[in-house]
Every structure is written in structure tokens, then in C-alpha cells.
């Protein structure tokens, strides 16, 4: 099993998690494909997106795999008037992760993080481990705790 920075962070913090791997189709990096290959419900597989607010700058947000990011709601909760998605060509420069492998854990800089409230409907959620085809399953509470530990309480 491939160990990633996200896994090493969780190990260091003593947080319980499970690594899940699946065969990647480079032509289909969708959460739908990942969920199907892992045999997990799509609403339990969270995709991590990178956005930019007009006041706060870069924001990291994880939402259910089948959902669309509500930019107006994110703007409101993050204290911005306007939020836009970051262009794909900037994602790796900002996070250190390529498209299809952005993990909320181990990002190059400490950015505010928002986890969709629906995550708390599950005892565990699945997020990218920071490599295509590798996911981490852990409690949503543990995910936020880990992010708070590494970002200085920027997780919401």
C-alpha cells in the first residue's frame, strides 16, 4: 500500500484511518469512478476542491462526490462577497497535488478548510490521500482535528 504525506500526517497525530486503493483511469478522475471502483457510496466519497475568495484568498473545500460546489454559500460561510474556482492550471502550484489527487491533508500552505456538513452523517468519510488511486477513510471529526492540528485551527 502506497504511503502518502496525508497518511504520514495521520500516523504522526495518532489518528485512526484506512487506506483504500483502486485502479486509476487517467481519462476519468471523477469521484463517481473512484466510488464505483472502491465499492463505496458516492455521497461518502468527498472530492477536495480549491477556490479563491475575494477577501480571504485560497480556500480548500471537500464536498460529496456527486455534489456541485455552491459558490454563494461558500462565500457566505467564509466571509467573502465572491468565491471562484481556482483554474486547474493553478491547483498543483497552490496545493502540491495534481488534479484528481488533492488531499485536504498535506497541502503546501495552510489555507482555510471547509468540510460539507453532510460528512457528519457518516461515521467515516473518504478523501484523497494525495495520490491518484489512493484514498483515506476516516471519521469526519478526526479529519477536522487533523487539519486543525496542521493548519492552526483553519478547519471548519
- Residue 30, domain CATH: 3.90.960.10
Number of domains in the chain: 1
Residue 81 to residues 60, 91, 119, Cα–Cα distance (Å):
17, 22, 25
Task: Report pTM.
Answer: 0.91
Low-confidence stretches of the chain (pLDDT < 50) are none
Ordered DSSP codes for 33-80:
HHHHHHT--GGGBEEEEEEEETTTEEEEEEEETT----HHHHHHHHT-
- pLDDT at residue 25, rounded to an integer: 80
Name, in order, each residue with C-beta under 8 angstroms of 77's C-beta and a sequence gap of 6 or more. 114, 156
- pLDDT at residue 14, rounded to an integer: 94
Q: Establish if 156 belongs to a structural domain.
A: no
- pLDDT at residue 153, rounded to an integer: 58
Q: Establish if 99 belongs to a structural domain.
A: yes
Q: Establish if 70 belongs to a structural domain.
A: yes
Q: Which domain holds residue 65?
A: 5-151
- pLDDT at residue 114, rounded to an integer: 94
Q: Establish if 77 belongs to a structural domain.
A: yes
Cell 497552490 sits on residue: 94
Amino acid at each position: 500500500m502506497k504511503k502518502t504525506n496525508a497518511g504520514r500526517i495521520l500516523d504522526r497525530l495518532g489518528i485512526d484511518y484506512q487506506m483504500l486503493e483502486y485502479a486509476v483511469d487517467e481519462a476519468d478522475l471523477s469521484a463517481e469512478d473512484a466510488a464505483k471502483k472502491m465499492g463505496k457510496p458516492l455521497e461518502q466519497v468527498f472530492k477536495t476542491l480549491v477556490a479563491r475568495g475575494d477577501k480571504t484568498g485560497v480556500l480548500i473545500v471537500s464536498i460529496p462526490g456527486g455534489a456541485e460546489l455552491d459558490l454563494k454559500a461558500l462565500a457566505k460561510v467564509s466571509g467573502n462577497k465572491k468565491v471562484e474556482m481556482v483554474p486547474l492550471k493553478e491547483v498543483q502550484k497552490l496545493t502540491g497535488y495534481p488534479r484528481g489527487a488533492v488531499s485536504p491533508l498535506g497541502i503546501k500552505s495552510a489555507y482555510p478548510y471547509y468540510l460539507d456538513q453532510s460528512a457528519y452523517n457518516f461515521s467515516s468519510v473518504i478523501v484523497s490521500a494525495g495520490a491518484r488511486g489512493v484514498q483515506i477513510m476516516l471519521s469526519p471529526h478526526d479529519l477536522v482535528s487533523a487539519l486543525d492540528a496542521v493548519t492552526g485551527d483553519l478547519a471548519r
